[in-house]
């Protein structure tokens, strides 16, 4: 006997009499077409998967709270930062980049670090990574870069030669390559790594003054990492090691926390600062722009359903409430399009109305219809603007201050005169002896299967960042450094 609460039904709500035996003509079959329930089950099952993300496919997510601890209201009019002590619900999704949905969590790969802040003036999505820089600075190279990290078109296998061929021909990748192969290249857990906006964004205040900003999320659990050997062993034991760790910690009440910090640059400084502040392959040294604490983020609630909440979570760098803005960073500009574009393809044009993505504040616009319009589609409200029937209208108080831009439209060589070596060298030089040894060991292992010519080309980059760095990798690969210098 069932009562209404647990009585099984079809999707149309019709009670199901038998969920164990198909409807057949006689006990041996065949099955009858009129077994609607069987047809519905099979058809729905065939459609259970949405396309996986081209990048950042494998992820883990959780809800939490953000609490403002530092006053930055002089830089931004964003309501979330209007006073110390304010809190806001968040949803975070961490991910690897290159691996597919079923891949190992402990791969050497950057980690996506995406935070959705459900603020009272709309969602703010901080779609970052656990590294402060990236491999490329021009979005025209992004798909080439990702192809080189994914599978060989002939064999369907990951291939070190493709990876190093691209990197060695793209010196702007050196800083991120150094980060990736360092001891921090594989976090021990998702709780023990930092997050960075990587991109420069902007903040603007009530007076219409703009500041450039980089966001940092420093783990309060401390940095912990895996060696390559540990990561390989764990991958053989538990593909979902990081996902499991995060879920289990939250279930046990061990809520991970991060300190949110900013580096702030007045708008005018960008014109004279020695480093292009919009170059995604560069950090702003802390001595020039010190970190300022602004808040603490805590993860304290696991999703109830992985697909609904983690797989359908859709982050977009363009979700910026008033008081926040983008920047001229070319990579950010391209991501402003590519993220929502990917969501429309992957989970449909109404993705923003899915429960995990839905803003916690009222939403009023004129988008209508489209696939899977699962809410009331704004009912009888007018679907055009201007209108005479009380439809939503814009409010000039929310206009971003104008940004002065100039220059001739051209395809500027982003490599010409760009220093790809100093900051990569700085990173190498701040490592202790053990970290340097790990970095060089990791690089030597990854470069071993690669043709000599590519090895030499890549060592040339390491050498220019720091001679000891290049010499170490050359030694590990049995290459005479003079051959590298001659090249
Ligand atoms: P600082 O000495 O002020 O900062 C060094 C930074 O490096 C710290 O944020 C530290 O993070 C981080 N770090 C330490 N060890 C590693 C490692 N093995 N892998 C990755 N990051 C590490 O110097 P600068 O600001 O002048 O930066 C020097 C170099 O540090 C940069 O070229 C860059 O490669 C790296 N870096 C700089 C960041 C920045 O925003 N300025 C951010 C992250 C890295 P923590 O404090 O958490 O230990």
Measured CA to CA, the distance from residue 441 to residue 476 in angstroms comes to 7
The percent of residues in the chain predicted with pLDDT above 70, rounded, is: 100
Measured CA to CA, the distance from residue 187 to residue 170 in angstroms comes to 26
Token pair of 484 as six digits: 């590298």
Choice between 389 and 3, residue whose per-residue pLDDT is larger:
389
Ligand 1 neighbour 176 (Cβ under 6 A): no
Atom of ligand 1 nearest to the CA of 216: 40
pLDDT, tens only, 167-187: 999 999 999 999 999 999 999
Q: How far is the CA of 426 from the centre of ligand 1 (A)?
A: 9
DSSP state of 140: G
pLDDT, tens only, 349-369: 999 999 999 999 999 999 999
Ligand 1 neighbour 434 (Cβ under 6 A): no
Token pair of 486 as six digits: 């001659």
Torsion-angle region of residue 174: left (phi > 0), alpha (psi -120 to 50) or beta?
alpha
State which of 422, 427, 433 you would mutate to test the pocket of ligand 1, scoring each by most atoms of that ligand within 8 A of its C-beta: 427
Measured CA to CA, the distance from residue 252 to residue 239 in angstroms comes to 21
Tell me what the pLDDT averaged over the chain comes to: 97
pLDDT surpassing 70 at residue 1: no
Inter-CA distances, 352 with 45, 123, 204, 331, 362, Å: 25, 10, 25, 23, 13
Q: Which of 4-13, 34-43, 56-65 has the least mean pLDDT?
A: 4-13
Q: At what angle do helices 433-447 and 452-465 cross, to 10 degrees?
A: 160
Inter-CA distances, 264 with 45, 81, 276, 404, Å: 50, 15, 15, 19
Query: What is the C-alpha radius of gyration for the chain, rounded to an integer number of angstroms?
Result: 26
Query: What does 416-458 look like in DSSP terms, one character per residue?
Result: TT---SHHHHHHHHHS-HHHHHHHHHHHHHHHTTS-HHHHHHH
Atom of ligand 1 nearest to the CA of 214: 40
The pLDDT confidence band at residue 5, using thresholds 50, 70 and 90, is: confident
State which of 285, 293, 434, 435 you would mutate to test the pocket of ligand 1, scoring each by most atoms of that ligand within 8 A of its C-beta: 285
Measured at the alpha carbon of residue 64, what is the angle toward residues 58 and 66, in degrees to the nearest 5?
120
Token pair of 301 as six digits: 């609630």
Atom of ligand 1 nearest to the CA of 291: 40
Atom of ligand 1 nearest to the CA of 426: 32
Ligand 1 neighbour 435 (Cβ under 6 A): yes
Inter-CA distances, 130 with 60, 76, 189, 418, 456, Å: 14, 25, 12, 24, 29
pLDDT, tens only, 86-124: 999 999 999 999 999 999 999 999 999 999 999 999 999
Q: How far is the CA of 427 from the centre of ligand 1 (A)?
A: 7
pLDDT on residue 281: 98
Measured at the alpha carbon of residue 365, what is the angle toward residues 359 and 371, in degrees to the nearest 5?
80
Inter-CA distances, 281 with 176, 260, 274, 330, 331, Å: 7, 21, 14, 11, 10
Q: How far is the CA of 218 from the centre of ligand 1 (A)?
A: 12
Ligand 1 neighbour 231 (Cβ under 6 A): no
Measured CA to CA, the distance from residue 48 to residue 7 in angstroms comes to 23
3-state helix, strand, coil in the chain (%, to 5): 35, 15, 50
Q: Are 350 and 372 in contact (CB under 8 A)?
A: yes
The residue nearest atom 29 of ligand 1, judged by CA position, is 427
pLDDT, tens only, 319-345: 999 999 999 999 999 999 999 999 999
Domain ranges of the chain: 23-158+187-359
Q: How far is the CA of 285 from the centre of ligand 1 (A)?
A: 8
Ligand 1 neighbour 194 (Cβ under 6 A): yes
Q: Are 428 and 466 in contact (CB under 8 A)?
A: yes
Q: Hey, how many other C-beta atoms are within 10 angstroms of the C-beta on 214?
A: 23
Mean pLDDT computed over 453-468: 98
Ligand 1 neighbour 440 (Cβ under 6 A): no
pLDDT on residue 4: 79
The residue nearest atom 26 of ligand 1, judged by CA position, is 285
Q: Are 223 and 420 in contact (CB under 8 A)?
A: no
The residue nearest atom 15 of ligand 1, judged by CA position, is 431
Measured CA to CA, the distance from residue 185 to residue 192 in angstroms comes to 12
pLDDT on residue 459: 98
The residue nearest atom 7 of ligand 1, judged by CA position, is 427
Ligand 1 neighbour 179 (Cβ under 6 A): yes
Measured CA to CA, the distance from residue 327 to residue 267 in angstroms comes to 10
The pLDDT confidence band at residue 487, using thresholds 50, 70 and 90, is: confident
Q: How far is the CA of 217 from the centre of ligand 1 (A)?
A: 13
Atom of ligand 1 nearest to the CA of 194: 47
The residue nearest atom 37 of ligand 1, judged by CA position, is 283
pLDDT surpassing 80 at residue 68: yes
Measured CA to CA, the distance from residue 61 to residue 405 in angstroms comes to 38
Buried b / exposed e over 423-432, threshold 16 CB at 10 Å, is bbbebbeebe
**pTM as predicted:** 0.96
pLDDT on residue 129: 98
Ligand 1 neighbour 438 (Cβ under 6 A): no
Residue with tokens 């009380």: 390
Ligand 1 neighbour 283 (Cβ under 6 A): yes
Inter-CA distances, 104 with 50, 98, 425, Å: 20, 11, 30
Catalytic residues: 56, 129
Q: How far is the CA of 276 from the centre of ligand 1 (A)?
A: 18
Measured CA to CA, the distance from residue 216 to residue 261 in angstroms comes to 5
The residue nearest atom 47 of ligand 1, judged by CA position, is 218
pLDDT, tens only, 401-433: 999 999 999 999 999 989 999 999 999 999 999
Give me the sign of the Cα torsion angle 272, 275, 278, 284.
Answer: negative
Q: 3-state class of 244 per DSSP?
A: helix
Ligand 1 neighbour 426 (Cβ under 6 A): yes
Beta bridge partners of 281: none
Mean pLDDT computed over 16-41: 95
pLDDT surpassing 70 at residue 74: yes
Q: How far is the CA of 395 from the centre of ligand 1 (A)?
A: 42
Specify the CATH number of the domain 23-158+187-359: 2.40.180.10
């Amino acid at each position: 006997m069932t009562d209404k609460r647990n009585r099984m039904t079809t999707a149309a709500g019709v009670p199901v009499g038998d969920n164990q035996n198909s409807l057949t003509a006689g006990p041996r079959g065949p099955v009858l077409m009129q077994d609607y329930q069987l047809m519905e089950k099979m058809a729905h099952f065939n459609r259970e998967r949405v396309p996986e993300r081209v990048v950042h496919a494998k992820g883990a997510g959780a809800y939490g709270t953000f609490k403002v601890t530092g006053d930055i209201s002089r830089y931004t009019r964003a309501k979330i930062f209007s006073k110390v002590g304010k809190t806001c619900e968040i949803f975070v999704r961490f991910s690897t980049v290159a691996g597919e949905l079923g891949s190992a969590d402990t791969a050497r790969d950057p980690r996506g670090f995406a935070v959705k802040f459900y603020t009272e003036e709309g969602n703010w999505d901080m779609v970052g990574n656990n590294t402060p820089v990236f491999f490329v600075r021009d979005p025209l190279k992004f798909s080439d870069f990702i192809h080189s990290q994914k599978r060989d078109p002939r064999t369907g296998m990951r291939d070190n030669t493709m990876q190093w061929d691209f990197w060695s021909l793209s010196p702007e990748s050196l800083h991120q390559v150094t980060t990736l192969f360092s001891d921090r290249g594989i976090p021990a857990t998702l709780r023990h790594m930092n997050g960075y906006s990587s991109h420069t964004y902007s903040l603007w205040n009530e007076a219409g003054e703009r500041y450039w900003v980089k966001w940092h999320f420093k783990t309060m659990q401390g940095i912990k990492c895996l060696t390559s050997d540990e990561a390989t062993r764990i991958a053989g034991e538990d593909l979902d090691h990081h996902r499991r760790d995060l879920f289990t910690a939250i279930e046990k009440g061990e809520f991970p926390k991060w300190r949110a910090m900013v580096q702030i640059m007045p708008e005018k400084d960008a014109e004279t600062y020695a480093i292009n502040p919009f170059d995604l392959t560069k950090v702003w040294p802390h001595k020039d722009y010190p970190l300022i604490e602004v808040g603490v983020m805590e993860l304290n609630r696991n999703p109830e359903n992985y697909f609904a909440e983690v797989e359908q979570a859709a982050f977009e760098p363009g979700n910026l409430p008033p008081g926040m803005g983008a920047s001229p960073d070319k990579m950010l500009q391209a991501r402003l399009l590519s993220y929502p574009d990917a969501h429309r393809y992957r989970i449909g044009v109404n993705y923003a109305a899915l429960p995990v993505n839905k803003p916690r504040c009222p939403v009023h616009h004129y988008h209508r219809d489209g696939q899977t319009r699962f809410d009331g589609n704004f009912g009888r409200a007018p679907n055009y603007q201007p209108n005479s029937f009380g439809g939503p209208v814009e409010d000039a108080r929310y206009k971003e201050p104008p940004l002065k831009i100039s220059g001739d439209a051209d395809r500027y060589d982003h490599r010409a005169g760009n220093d790809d070596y100093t900051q990569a060298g700085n990173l190498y030089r701040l490592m202790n002896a053990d970290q340097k040894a790990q970095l060089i060991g990791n690089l030597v292992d990854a470069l071993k299967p690669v043709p000599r010519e590519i090895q030499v080309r890549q060592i040339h980059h390491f050498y220019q960042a720091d001679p000891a760095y290049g010499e170490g990798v050359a030694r590990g690969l049995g290459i005479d450094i003079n051959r590298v210098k001659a090249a």
